[in-house]
Amino acid sequence: SKVPSLTLNNGIAMPQLGFGVWQIEDDQAFTTVGQALEAGYRSIDTAAIYGNEAGTGKALAASGIPREELFVTTKLWNSDHGHDAALRAFDTSLGKLGLEYVDLYLIHWPLPSRDTYIDTYKALEKIYADGRAKAIGVSNFQPAHLERLLGETSVVPAVNQIELHPQFPQADSRAFHARHNIVTEAWSPLGQGKGLLEHPTIAELAAKHGRTPAQVVLRWHLQLGNVAIPKSVTPSRIAENIDVFGFELDDADLAALAGLDSGNRLGPDPATFDVG
Ligand code: NAD
């Protein structure tokens, strides 16, 4: 496919652009993931809590695309932290997806107040050793959580999936990941489509390049070296969001985008988030 891959720290290739399926109902996931595969996406990002692993899995099967050409990520929900609960949750996810392995399994949130992510991650290490996840990693981990994980477990996470977009660029986390050979994966890469895509700076860059605001933002992610997983249920946007390999932002463009940092996240603060 035309989407380039990054090589994870264990040698596994991961498409740099994937498709996110948060807030897509299970039966709609079948249709929408099918459209994304048709448009050329090969990497799909789901999670147990999204409730659409079954619909996603059906779409993967129905596509007829060989398993080795797909990259499937799912995530362990907060209620399944703990070593044994994590092993059970993984079996459930794999069953719903109808797969024999996932490409990437992530701990969805660190829940530092519960002090469970080390034991949970050790279960992921077993799953990885069994070959049922080709890579393991985390999501929403801050450098302090990663420091502890690196000190107390053996497999360096391949990926940390965090909220990241031009208004919340996470420079400290990206630098930490780079030092430890952890790929940074951006969730809500389009800032959830809200204010970000109407920002005048992005509108100017879109006009300059003859592209859309979403394409400018996705280009920014790619040029920073992030993996990005934009979501849409609109076929034209699904196609638009993968058509980002025919142009390049220049240094002045990147400098202009650096001016958008608001310091404000859209989602919860991982240091205190503790639901589920
Ligand atoms: P996003 O930044 O991908 O924005 C999606 C929204 O932007 C769409 O619903 C639509 O309203 C709009 N949009 C999409 N394409 C557009 C286009 N071309 N033009 C105009 N508007 C467009 O937001 P997201 O869904 O929050 O994040 C993407 C994925 O990241 C999720 O689906 C999920 O897989 C993942 N995610 C993970 C976590 C986590 O905790 N790990 C949290 C949130 C999201």
Whether 199 has a binding-site annotation, put simply, is: no
- Whole-number Å distance, alpha carbon 186 to ligand 1 midpoint, is 10
Domain membership flag for residue 170: yes
**Structural domain of 41:** 5-258
Taking residues 171-180, report their average pLDDT. Answer: 98
Decide if 39 is inside a domain: yes
Q: Is residue 276 part of a domain?
A: no
In a domain, 254, yes or no: yes
- Domain contains 266: no
- Within a domain: 270: no
pLDDT digits 0-9 by tens, 107-137: 999 999 999 999 999 999 999 999 999 999 9
**Number of domain units in the chain:** 1
pTM of the complete model beyond 0.90: yes
pLDDT at 2: 84
Please give the distance, rounded to the nearest whole angstrom, from the Cα atom of residue 231 to the centre of ligand 1: 4
CA distances from 133 to 74, 118, 212, 267 (A): 10, 18, 36, 27
Give residues (CB < 6 A) around ligand 1.
20-22, 45, 108, 139-140, 161, 187-193, 197, 212, 214, 229-232, 237, 240-241, 267
Say what the pLDDT of residue 55 is: 98
- CA–centroid distance, residue 192 to ligand 1 (Å): 5
- Assess whether pLDDT exceeds 70 at residue 1: no
Amino acid at 257: L
Mean pLDDT, residues 37-52 taken together: 98
DSSP letter at 8? P
Note whether residue 211 is domain-resident: yes
pLDDT above 60 (res 187): yes
> For residue 112, what is the domain's CATH number?
3.20.20.100
Residue 241 is predicted with a pLDDT of: 98
Average pLDDT over residues 190-210: 96
Classify residue 53: in a domain, yes or no: yes
